[in-house]
Chains A and B, each alone.
Chain A
């Protein structure tokens, strides 16, 4: 079986595309760098939308990236089951694209925050969290100015009832996110948005922990199980 291809999209103003690509590579992926203006997913089996300030955060974070040619491809493919992980600005783009419910607004304390953050993984059945043990607590960096997750009560209750809150802040909420939500998933568990940064914590040489790596190995496990590969690159899966 060929190696799974994981795409990392670079928008003007993306910052963490390099680390996201490295994390996917360390997890064993064949990494493909994708450009916002391109219209071809290059046969990727999964896509990561990295952190940063796409289009300068103009208008609203992620609002302009949502209309980029590459996002049109990602949105369409995600609706057909393509695993997509949006980290920080990527999470904002997923919400603006309506692939995930809710929105991310200015931190309640108005300050940019950058610190190592404890979070608890609450759903280990998604394409991006299946390698975590149940209710596992990890420490990875969080760094955002507009990371407050908001949605109406009905949406929040629905997310909780369906187990779609995949991670919650522990030991202090860094940005005023409703119900301490750090990450959510879509109905099928293939699209995940996460405000903290697992790609900055894949080894202890450069990160506070290696706790972030399972996000990237999870999608490899998911893709290597039968039926989740893009046909063009799946090779012989039987």
Chain B
């Protein structure tokens, strides 16, 4: 089994109203010195068998086309080594 983590974040230049609201809430709840909060999402994908080169290439393609919108978002794809047998 292979476990792949895909993290999707808004590009730095795109306004993140949700992150800003969370930043304000953290400050209200007593956390000092919060400069910035950016909110993103993470996909945890479990695959049967090994992540071979074909599936790795397709996964990158789908991360860019479906999981992230490249107009406003960046993604990072990593294999979770601990969960990957």
Residues in chain A within 8 A of chain B (CB atoms): 59-60, 63, 67, 95-96, 98, 101-103, 105-110, 148, 150-152, 176
CB-CB under 8 A from B69, the residues of chain A are 60, 63, 96, 103
Sample of 10 further A-B pairs with CB below 8 A, known A59-B67, A150-B14: A59-B66, A67-B66, A95-B71, A102-B71, A103-B69, A103-B72, A105-B14, A105-B17, A110-B17, A148-B15
| 7 CB-based A-B contacts, threshold 8 Å | A63-B66, A96-B69, A102-B71, A103-B71, A110-B21, A151-B71, A176-B17
Interface flag for B54 (CB, 8 Å) = no
Residues in chain B within 8 A of chain A (CB atoms): 10, 13-15, 17-18, 21, 66-67, 69, 71-72
Determine if A150 and B72 form an interchain contact, defined as CB atoms under 8 angstroms apart. yes
Give the distance to chain A from B19, nearest Cβ to Cβ, in Å: 10
CB-CB under 8 A from B17, the residues of chain A are 105-110, 148, 176
Of all A-B residue pairs in the complex, the 8 with the closest CB atoms, nearest first, are: A103-B72, A103-B71, A108-B17, A106-B17, A110-B17, A150-B14, A110-B21, A103-B69
Give the distance to chain A from B51, nearest Cβ to Cβ, in Å: 22
Our count of residue pairs bridging A and B at CB distance below 8 angstroms stands at 37
Determine if A105 and B15 form an interchain contact, defined as CB atoms under 8 angstroms apart. yes
Give the distance to chain B from A26, nearest Cβ to Cβ, in Å: 35
Give the distance to chain B from A69, nearest Cβ to Cβ, in Å: 16
CB-CB under 8 A from A63, the residues of chain B are 66, 69
CB-CB under 8 A from B14, the residues of chain A are 105, 150
Give the distance to chain B from A220, nearest Cβ to Cβ, in Å: 32
Q: Contacting B15 at CB < 8 Å: which of A67, A98, A152, A176?
A: A176
CB-CB under 8 A from A98, the residues of chain B are 71
Cα A105 to Cα B10 with chains together (Å) = 10
Cα A63 to Cα B71 with chains together (Å) = 12
Cα A96 to Cα B69 with chains together (Å) = 7
CB-CB under 8 A from B67, the residues of chain A are 59
Give the distance to chain B from A61, nearest Cβ to Cβ, in Å: 10
Cα A101 to Cα B70 with chains together (Å) = 11
Cα A150 to Cα B72 with chains together (Å) = 8
CB-CB under 8 A from A109, the residues of chain B are 17
CB-CB under 8 A from A110, the residues of chain B are 17-18, 21
Give the distance to chain B from A56, nearest Cβ to Cβ, in Å: 15
Determine if A105 and B72 form an interchain contact, defined as CB atoms under 8 angstroms apart. yes
Cα A60 to Cα B14 with chains together (Å) = 15
CB-CB under 8 A from B66, the residues of chain A are 59, 63, 67
Cα A98 to Cα B72 with chains together (Å) = 12
CB-CB under 8 A from A152, the residues of chain B are 13
